[in-house]
Structure 1
């Protein structure tokens, strides 16, 4: 089968969620509008996640995995997924399943005209503190990037893979994917998606790394913007 869409699933110590991830993504793959595969990226988990991922991939031909030697963070896991994707389209979803794989269809409907389509979580099921910190972080980021996106932390995105592979990722840059597509003169769009409470496992982000980290990363983005190299080949000798 020739796949057209790769769903990246970054994970770190998510053993309590992985069988549900297998079930929900298997259901989605069976009715996805295009041929789709799943790529787990194990970010150096210290629990039983890697063993479970290996079992899942053994019994599902459309599921693959890569595993880090040690924990390197969400941005590294997403970059590794981009690097190993071989399909024209790449997306990702968090292993906590607070977003619904079926909502990939909403993003795929728009991706033809755009280079990145991201979900924006409606009626968020997180705590007041988490929602407030995300709101503040998004406002800070938007004031630096002017990307017009309301929820870049939404863990449901679809991106054209050739654009994804040109993103010079650094720690924290997963929050700036729309802005990095704009640096490539690409087009971006946000689409409302459903959101659910986390029912298993532990959240990996807290107040400090939702606010302090993104604020510092904004200055890294400004440096990147000033120094970003963008070109388009219009002619070459084969």
Structure 2
């Protein structure tokens, strides 16, 4: 069984996937891992590209396909429940996230100890358009002010999280932007790692700016409500007698 499951949610990223898989292979040399690509209803050549890549790769490459696009968060959910590793590392399929940070995040999570549930990437030197950067900056400020999730940038696709914790989190369209808040709700802490963003190589963004503004605000209100209605999970210890 692999120790690490790398989950890549993607939609119409056929042109970006081969190089991304090259980079993942180089970054993960000496580690026991699998790659799970969640094809979120792609209409390009993603299926045929992954079929060809699966033959070439020395590591397990698994292809999950949504018949219809369900969004990035539910793609992560599909990958989480298919994962065979103890840790799930998440990375976007557009090439903007650099795979060299995957082992950095995994090691940071392990070294942080059992009280930490997720290692969250935080982007430096953003390569997005100015308007997207401003929208993201405002969304992160608002989210942090409301949820107090200790995180500067939850929109970064690079994360490493214990698989059992990831499977406990609620999933809806937009969950991936609130992972630190939900992990804290489960009674764990967050470790942060700075990462450097890159420009997209091919194609265009398939997922919007903070889920298109208004939707992101509604999601934030929903997450605030969930956290208000549910107490933080207590640590439970079995006491044996006799």
TM-score normalised per structure 1:
0.92
Partner of 2:238: 235
Matches within 5 A, 1:199-210: 199-207=201-209, 209-210=211-212
Partner-residue secondary structure (3-state), 1:111:
helix
Partner of 2:100: 102
Aligned length: 234
Deviation at 1:165, TM superposition (A): 0.8
TM-score normalised per structure 2:
0.90
Q: Aligned partners of 2:72 and 2:152: how far apart in 1? A: 20
Partner-residue secondary structure (3-state), 2:192:
strand
Partner of 1:222: 224
Partner of 2:186: 184
Deviating 4+ runs (over 6 angstroms):
none
Q: Aligned partners of 2:139 and 2:23: how far apart in 1? A: 30
Residues 1:163 and 2:155 are matched in the alignment: no
- Contact 1:115–1:160 at 8 Å: present in 2 too? yes
Residues 1:85 and 2:87 are matched in the alignment: no
Matches within 5 A, 1:11-30: 11-30=10-29
Residues 1:56 and 2:53 are matched in the alignment: yes
Q: Aligned partners of 2:210 and 2:96: how far apart in 1? A: 21
Deviation at 1:206, TM superposition (A): 3.9
- Contact 1:133–1:210 at 8 Å: present in 2 too? no
Partner of 1:149: 151
Residues 1:40 and 2:30 are matched in the alignment: no
Q: Which structure 2 residue ranges, 5 or more long, are not aligned?
A: none
Deviation at 1:207, TM superposition (A): 4.6
- Contact 1:120–1:151 at 8 Å: present in 2 too? yes
123-132 or 16-25, which deviates more: 16-25
Q: Aligned partners of 1:236 and 1:148: how far apart in 2? A: 33
Q: Aligned partners of 1:193 and 1:102: how far apart in 2? A: 9
Partner-residue secondary structure (3-state), 2:95:
coil
Q: Aligned partners of 1:134 and 1:121: how far apart in 2? A: 11
Q: Which structure 1 residue ranges, 5 or more long, are not aligned?
A: none
Once the two structures are superposed, residues 60-98 of structure 1 have per-residue CA deviations (whole angstroms, 9 ceiling, x without a partner) of 242112111111000110111111112111111011111
